[in-house]
């Protein structure tokens, strides 16, 4: 950073090397705009997803799934962590080069802080660099929430997902605090690696957005793997011992304790705005600490945009990517695109098999006044989907929620092998008004998982049980 110490003036400054920010930096740089990307750590070029989020965790899920019963848990895990580290190193290098090889883009490694609405100071050790820009994009992501539980923050057994996936020693007794996306994925993966796993979730149920039949099927799979799920658990204290921690919690008015040698804190992530100097720039935040944005992702300073987790939207890499499309449209397009355009955004929870959802649940559809038809079948009963037997994963179910009047698909929950792919086809069908009948009668490759749609959608009928 020293050679730049006189200060820089550029067209666009991006703070944070996340999905949205790097995509914008590359797009605008290739058009000849002078862009600076500031990233606080050379271990984070490419952002959360490729370094500590989606990619390493899904690679670990794959390693966990391929462990055979008689493979040594510890050795398999150590090799998996090593292999994933090589993958993230490769991707980090490619991400850096993607920007560094564009003449108009400069990557600066240091921590950024606003000093006024158009000026940012970047610090790295004793070095300081001042950058001014006409347009600024904040893409600083999010960080784990550590609940205010006596003894938790100070516990030497407590860890975050970031630290856990780089530790080569497999926990023997893993307690997971929080049964959301991260908690369930880690519980499933570490159980498969061979750890004893208990999930403590404060709400009365995990997967509480899902219909009862879908949640019950997923819970059945997780419990069948040997994971202990404790819902309605209010953790009151963590106390360290020589050989692990004792976690005290209350459930149904009774007090319980759990022993663990590792506690994964998976209680949500909050927007990363600490130390950014937003006040100095006059950039407002919401009550929940996110940067306040309008539907075009402009902040209270119209030349400053916020993309990705930091703007308080859904915390998914593909949302950060879509945020970048909205900002690009503001800067070099027609300005028409907005967050209001998002319909039928799919999600996948990477347990084994994955649970992928899109659109409305049956409960939501009824609440909205739809007359619904339901098409559903356990995977093991879908005769025309040999793919499940080929890969030896016949657990789960597919469920479609269909408007009885129009035959439009309102939503789907696919707890199935390959569902992270299947759900994108359903999302496209919903967005483009493809009916359930058309999806049922389409020609699909064989043997594939998509061909299951032929058979599952043929079961569509009005259910007699109200949720």
Ligand X SMILES: Cc1cc2nc3c(=O)[nH]c(=O)nc-3n(C[C@H](O)[C@H](O)[C@H](O)COP(=O)(O)OP(=O)(O)OC[C@H]3O[C@@H](n4cnc5c(N)ncnc54)[C@H](O)[C@@H]3O)c2cc1C
Ligand Y SMILES: NC(=O)c1ccc[n+]([C@@H]2O[C@H](COP(=O)([O-])OP(=O)(O)OC[C@H]3O[C@@H](n4cnc5c(N)ncnc54)[C@H](O)[C@@H]3O)[C@@H](O)[C@H]2O)c1
Give 266 or 429: the residue with its C-beta nearer to ligand Y: 266
Q: Using the rule CB under 6 A, is 218 a contact of ligand Y? A: no
Q: How many CA atoms lie within 13 A of 65 on its CB side?
A: 16
Task: Write down the least CB distance from residue 314 to ligand X, Å.
Answer: 8
Give 372 or 423: the residue with its C-beta nearer to ligand Y: 423
Catalytic-role residue among 256, 296, 432, 446: 446
Active site residue 367: no
Give the integer Cα–Cα distance in Å for 397 and 414.
6
Task: Write down the least CB distance from residue 323 to ligand Y, Å.
Answer: 14
Give the integer Cα–Cα distance in Å for 134 and 115.
14
Q: Using the rule CB under 6 A, is 272 a contact of ligand Y? A: no
In degrees rounded to 5, what are phi and psi of residue 420? -65, -20
Looking at the DSSP bridge assignments, the partners of residue 403 are 372
Give 13 or 398: the residue with its C-beta nearer to ligand X: 13
Q: Is 181 annotated as a binding residue?
A: yes
Q: Is 142 annotated as a binding residue?
A: yes
- By CB under 6 A, name the binding residues for ligand X: 15-20, 38-41, 44, 47-49, 53-54, 57-58, 111-112, 139-141, 161, 182, 272, 276, 308-310, 315-318, 320, 350
Q: In the sheet where 262-265 sits, what is the strand order?
A: 158-159, 262-265, 173-177, 196-201, 228-231
Q: Using the rule CB under 6 A, is 164 a contact of ligand Y? A: no
Q: Using the rule CB under 6 A, is 200 a contact of ligand Y? A: yes
Do 17 and 46 touch, CB atoms closer than 8 A?
A: yes
Do 20 and 141 touch, CB atoms closer than 8 A?
A: no
| Ramachandran assignment for 462, one of left (phi > 0), alpha (psi -120 to 50 degrees), beta (any other) | beta
Q: From ligand X, ligand Y, none, which one binds at residue 147 (CB under 5 to 8 Å depending on kind)?
A: ligand Y
Q: Using the rule CB under 6 A, is 322 a contact of ligand Y? A: no
Q: From ligand X, ligand Y, none, which one binds at residue 157 (CB under 5 to 8 Å depending on kind)?
A: none
CB atoms inside a 10 Å sphere around CB 149: 21
In the three-class reduction of DSSP (H, G, I as helix; E, B as strand; rest coil), residue 75 is classed as: helix
Task: Write down the least CB distance from residue 420 to ligand X, Å.
Answer: 9
Task: Write down the least CB distance from residue 113 to ligand X, Å.
Answer: 6
Give the integer Cα–Cα distance in Å for 361 and 353.
19
Annotated binding-site residues read: 58, 140-142, 178-185, 201, 268, 309
**Catalytic sites, residue numbers:** 446
């Amino acid at each position: 950073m020293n050679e730049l110490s006189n200060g820089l003036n550029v067209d666009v400054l991006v703070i944070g090397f996340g999905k949205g920010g790097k995509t914008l930096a590359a797009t605008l740089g290739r058009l000849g705009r002078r862009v600076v990307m500031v990233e606080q750590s050379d271990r984070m070029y490419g952002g959360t997803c490729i370094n500590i989020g989606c990619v390493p965790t899904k690679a670990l899920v794959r390693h966990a799934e391929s462990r055979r019963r008689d493979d040594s848990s510890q050795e398999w895990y150590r090799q998996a962590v090593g292999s994933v580290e090589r993958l993230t190193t490769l991707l980090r290098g490619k991400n850096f080069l993607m920007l560094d090889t564009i003449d108009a883009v400069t990557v600066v490694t240091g921590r950024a802080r606003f000093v006024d609405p158009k000026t940012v100071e970047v610090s790295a050790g004793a070095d300081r660099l001042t950058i001014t820009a006409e347009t600024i994009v904040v893409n600083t992501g999010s960080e784990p929430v550590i609940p205010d539980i006596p003894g938790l923050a100070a516990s030497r057994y407590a860890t975050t997902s970031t630290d856990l996936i780089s530790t080569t020693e497999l926990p023997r007794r893993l307690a997971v605090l929080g049964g959301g996306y991260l908690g369930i994925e880690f519980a499933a993966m570490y159980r498969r690696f061979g750890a004893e796993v208990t999930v403590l979730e404060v709400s009365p149920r995990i997967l509480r957005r899902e219909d009862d039949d879908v949640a019950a099927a997923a819970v059945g799979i997780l419990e069948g793997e040997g994971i202990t799920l404790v819902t309605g658990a209010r953790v009151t204290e963590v106390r360290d011992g020589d050989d692990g921690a004792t976690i005290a919690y209350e459930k149904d008015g009774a007090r319980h304790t759990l022993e663990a040698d590792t506690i994964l804190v998976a209680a949500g992530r909050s927007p990363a705005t600490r130390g950014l100097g937003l006040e100095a720039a006059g950039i407002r935040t919401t009550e929940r600490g996110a940067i306040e944005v309008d539907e075009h992702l402009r902040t209270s300073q119209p030349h400053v945009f916020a993309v990705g987790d930091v703007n308080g939207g859904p915390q998914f890499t593909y949302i950060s990517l879509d945020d970048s499309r909205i900002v690009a449209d503001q800067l070099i397009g027609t300005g028409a695109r907005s967050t209001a355009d998002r319909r039928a955004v799919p999600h996948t929870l990477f347990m084994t098999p994955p649970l992928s959802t899109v659109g409305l649940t049956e409960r939501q559809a009824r609440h909205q006044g739809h007359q619904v038809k339901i098409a559903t079948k356990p995977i093991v009963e879908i005769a025309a989907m040999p793919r499940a037997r080929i890969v030896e994963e016949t657990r789960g179910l597919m469920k479609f929620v269909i408007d009885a009047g129009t035959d439009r698909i309102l939503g789907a929950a696919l707890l199935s092998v390959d569902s992270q792919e299947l759900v994108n086809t359903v999302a496209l069908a919903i967005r483009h008004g493809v009916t359930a009948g058309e999806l049922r009668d389409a020609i699909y490759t064989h043997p594939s998982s998509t061909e299951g749609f032929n058979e599952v959608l043929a079961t569509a009928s009005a259910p007699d049980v109200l949720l």
